[in-house]
Amino acid sequence: MTFVVRMALREIRASWQRLLFFFICIAVGVAAIVTIRSVIQSVRTGLSREARTLTGADFVITSDRIIFRTGVFAKHGIEIPLERVNNVIFHQSVIERILGAGDLLIESGGETGQQRFTEVRDPDRVQALIHTQVDAKMARRGVQASGGGATGDVASQLEKLEGMLQRGTLTPTEFEVQKRKLLGA
């Protein structure tokens, strides 16, 4: 063992410049790899954060319809009337919850039936907003149909309240309060 150490020390003294050059090459190589990985990660993060802006997608909810437009050169768009919306479902993975994005599935009574929108910002809030607009649209239509009075009989109003409860627009407590008002209790 001492022989090996003595030989190594002789080699280091004789060619310390080559040994120094070797370690410098290793350090530069490691630094280059770390730098390249860091730049790639930064570009990926920036692109994923700005993906909607880069693709030119717009998701708008009006009092009458849901409008989605995408594309810069090749364009694609869809409009879903609120009265045709049957169900709105959102999905978020753990990572999407951290990023504040997710998928939105809108089921409608049209030719296509279902539309999936990916990378929607705050899909739970969008879902609630769509439900609110659908209920407001139904209420406006009901008021117009009855000449400005109450909409339908008590049974149909209870069905509407139950639908709002099932969609999550009303909490169980709010449902019970509205139910009592309708039943006069």
User: Is the pLDDT assigned to residue 144 strictly greater than 60?
Assistant: no
- CA separation for the pair 167, 40 (Å, rounded): 43
Distance from C-alpha of 129 to C-alpha of 123, rounded to nearest angstrom = 10
Q: What's the pTM? A: 0.49
pLDDT tens-place string over residues 104-137: 899 887 777 888 888 788 888 889 999 999 888 8
Rounded CA-CA distance 160/140 in Å is: 13
Q: Which of the four pLDDT bands, split at 50, 70 and 90, describes residue 152?
A: low
Per-residue pLDDT of 53-73, as tens digits, reads 555 557 788 888 888 887 777
